[in-house]
Amino acid sequence: MIPTRFTETSVGDMFVVRNAGNLIPHSQHFVDEMTSCEPAGLELSCIINDIKHVIVCGHSDCKAMNLLYKLKSEEESSLEQRRISPLKSWLCTHGKSSLNKFLEVKENLEKPILFSAETPQRKFVAYIDPENKFCIEDKLSQVNTLQQLQNIASYGMLKKRLERHDLHIHALWFDIYTGDIYYFSRRAKRFLIIDESSYEIILAEVRRYYS
C-alpha cells in the first residue's frame, strides 16, 4: 500500500513516515535524549517544513494489529515474549493504549469511544464500524488509527500550532481488499467511505474546520 498511489499525489507532495501498526509513540515514552523516528518526523515536517495537515492512515488486515489483538493474552505479551520479539515489544509499549481502549467497549461497540483531540480540552467521540462490516481486528485497527491523533497532540513542540488551529490532524483508513478509503468525520462521528455520495459532505467539513 503506497500512500502516494491511493491519494493520487506525486513523490514529494507528502512527507511519509511508515512503521509497524502506524503508531505514533506518546510523548510520555521519551525522556532526555531518548526518542524515535516518529517524533523526529513530526518535528521535521510540522516545525521545520511547516506542514499544516498530519494524516494517520490505518488499513484492513494489518498484521501488526492482528498481533496486537492477540497480545491481550498475558502469555503472548509476557516479558519473555517481548524479549524475543521486537514486534511484540514495540506493540506492547506503543499499542497497548489502543488495545485497552478497544477492549473496554469490545462487547458493546454501539457505545461511543471518547478521544482527546488537538488539546486535552478538545475531545471527539467515535462510533466504530456501526454497520458491523469488518472483523474484530479491523475494528481495533480503526480505534488504533484514532488513538494516534491523541498521541500526536501529546508533543509540546506542536502545542501552539494545534491551539491556533494552524496544524490539523486527520485519520484515514484503507480497505486493502476493496480499495475503499474512509475518512474519519468528527461531525458524523465515524469513518465515512469517500465516494460520490459523501465527498461533498467531507470536503465541506474539511473546508470549514481545517482550512
- CA nearest neighbour of 130 among 115, 147, 113, 144: 113
Torsion of CA 193, 194, 198, 202, to 10 degrees: 110
- CA nearest neighbour of 133 among 124, 122, 142: 142
The Cα 4–Cα 11 span in angstroms is: 7
SS3 92: helix
Q: Check if the beta carbon of residue 74 is closer than 8 Å to that of residue 60.
A: no
The strand pair at 123-126 and 113-116 is best described as antiparallel
SS3 83: helix
Q: Does 62 show up as a binding residue in the annotation?
A: yes
Q: Return the biggest CA–CA distance within the chain.
A: 51
Binding residues are 59, 62
Binding residues for Zn(2+) are 59, 62
